[in-house]
Structure 1
Amino acid sequence: MKLKCLIVEDEPLARGVMEGFVAEVPFLEHVGSCADAFAAMQLLKDQPVDLMLLDIHLPKLKGLDFLAALQHPPMVIVASAYHEFALQSYEYNVVDYLLKPIAFGRFVVAVNKALDKKNSSVQPLDNPSAGQELQVNVHKRKARIAIDDILYIESQRENVKIVTTSRTVLTRYPISELEKELPASFLRIHRSFIVNKTKIDFYDAHDIEIAGKDLPIGRNYKTQVLETLAGKAGLGSVK
C-alpha cells in the first residue's frame, strides 16, 4: 500500500528537502507540492490525498488555520521550526509534529505512524442477522462493532474512541477515514466527534447530548449540523 502524499511548504529549500525525503520512502507517493494553503485546498478537491506534510508558517493562511477549515482532512504531519505549536497541533489530531531542521530518520518514524493508521482498516459487513457492522484493528486483533449500537466516535491524540451502548473500543484508524465507512445516520459535528443521529437525546446551538454526555458542536460544523437536526424527525428534544 502506498500513501498519496501532499507537501504544503512555502520555502523552496525546505520543500525540496521534503520532496527528497518522500522520494526515498517506498510506501510514499508524491502527488503534489503547494506553496500556500489555497493551492493545497484546490489540490485536495481535485485528487485523493492520504497524508499531508504541512508547514505551520504559510503565507495568506497559516497552517493550523488551514487545517481547521478542512472538514475532511487527510492524515497530517506538521513541520515547524517552533516547538511551542506542538500542543495546539495535536488538538487537530495530527499524526506527528516534526521540528525543523528535520532529520531523515525522524521523518521515517513519522510517516510509519501514518502508514500504521492507514493499515488499521475498517471493513463494513453486511450480515442480515446482525445488521451492518464495522471491523477495526485493536492491538493486532479485529473488533466487531454493530453500527446501530454506536453512540458516538471521538478522535483523540493517538487513538479514535468508539463508544457503543455496551462498551468502548480504541483504535488507531483515522476518524476522517472511519467517517467514509459510516451510513447517513451518522453526522460529523466537530473535527473530533461523529455522532449517531438516532441516539441524540438533546441538542442546542452549542452541544449535543447522548447518553448523558455533552458533545461540542464545532464552529465550522454548526450551520450544517443545526440544519440537519432541525429537519430530522424522531430526534430527542431541543435543550
Structure 2
Amino acid sequence: MTCIIIDDEPLAVDLLTSYASKIEDLEVIGSFNNPIDALKLLRETAIDLVFLDIQMPEITGVEFKKIINPDIKVIFTTAYSEYALESYDLNAVDYLLKPITFQRFLKAVEKVQSKSANAITNESNDYIFVKTEYRHQKLLFSDILYLKGLSDYVAIQTNDGKVLTLQNMKDFEQILPNNKFIRVHKSYIVSLEHIEYIERNRIIINGEHLPIGATYKDAFWDKING
C-alpha cells in the first residue's frame, strides 16, 4: 500500500515516516510540508493513502480532502480535536490526535487495510462515478467518448458534453475497463467503441482528431488488431 505524508511541521513528517517504515506493506512515496506541492504527485501517481494535517497555510487539510480523488483514503493528523466531526463527514478513515503514538498509528493503518480487503468490485458495472465540483456524477461507459488530461484536471468528453474533474489520468487508466478504453497518448484515453476511423497517427472520434503518442502506438495497434 502506497502513501504520502502532508504536514507543515517537519518533525511531524519525520515521526510519521519513521512509523510507516516499521510497517512492512506500507510504502511512503513522498512527504510534503505544503499540500499544494503534493497535488502534482497525486495527479501523476496512484496513491492509496494520505496522512493529512488539518491546520496548514494556503490550504487546510479539510479543503485539500475535498479536491482530491475520493478513492484515496485519508487519515487526518492534527493537534486540534474540534475537527474530528468534520473529518468523519468527509469519510476520512481515521483521525489521529497529536502527539501520535505508534500503536495508534498502526491501528489506523490496519483500518485502511481492512477496508481495502473488504472492498467489493462489481465487474458488471457499466458506469463510474466522477467527482466534479461538489458532487459525484454518474457516467455510463457507453457515453464516454474520450478523456483529455490537462495541467490541473481531466476533461471527460461525453455524448452530452464535457465533465471536468481533479482526478488524474493514472486513476482513470486503472478504473476504466481495458476492453472498452485504451490510453493512446500521455494526454488522451479513448473509447474503443466510439472510434470512427484511424488516419495515420490520429484517431477520429466525433469529428475530433486525437493524436497517438509514440510511447503508446504499439500497444494501441496490438489492441486494434486483436
TM norm structure 1: 0.55
- 1:119 is displaced (CA, Å) by 1.5
Aligned-residue sequence identity (percent) comes to 34
- Which amino acid is 2:27 matched to? E
Matched residue SS, 1:111: helix
Q: Relative to 1, partners in 2 of residues 1:106 and 1:187: Cα closer, same or farther, differing over 3 Å?
A: closer
Mapped contact 1:67–1:73 kept (Cα < 8 A): no
Match runs of 1:101-140 below 5 Å: 101-125=99-123, 133=124
2:208 corresponds in structure 1 to: none
CA–CA separation in structure 2 for the residues paired with 1:191 and 1:98:
26
Distance 1:191 1:117, change over 3 A: farther
Q: CA deviation at 1:76?
A: 0.2
1:11 and 1:187 mapped to 2: Cα distance?
A: 33
Name the residue aligned to 1:70: 68
CA RMSD of aligned residues (A): 2.9
Q: Does 1:183 align with 2:127?
A: yes
Larger radius of gyration: 2
Query: Are 1:92 and 2:80 matched, yes or no?
Result: no
Aligned partner letter, 2:42 = L
Q: Scaled by the length of structure 2, what TM-score is found?
A: 0.57
Give the structure 2 partner of residue 235 of structure 1. none
Letter in 2 for 1:47: T
Q: In 1, are the aligned partners of 2:70 and 2:131 still within 8 Å (CA)?
A: no
Letter of the 2:91 counterpart: N
Aligned length: 149
Q: Secondary structure at the match of 1:102?
A: coil
> Residue type of the partner of 2:84?
A
Task: Identify if the C-alpha distance between structure 1 residues 58 and 195 changes in structure 2 by more than 3 Å, giving closer, same or farther.
Answer: same
Deviation at 1:92? 1.0
**1:187–1:28 CA distance, 2 compared to 1 (3 A):** closer
- Say if 1:92 and 1:191, in contact at 8 Å, map to a contact too: no
Task: Point out where structure 1 has 5 or more consecutive residues left out of the alignment.
Answer: 126-132, 134-146, 148-181, 198-223, 233-239
Return the letter of the residue paired with 1:15.
Answer: V
SS of the residue 2:62 aligns to: helix
Q: Deviation at 1:48?
A: 1.2
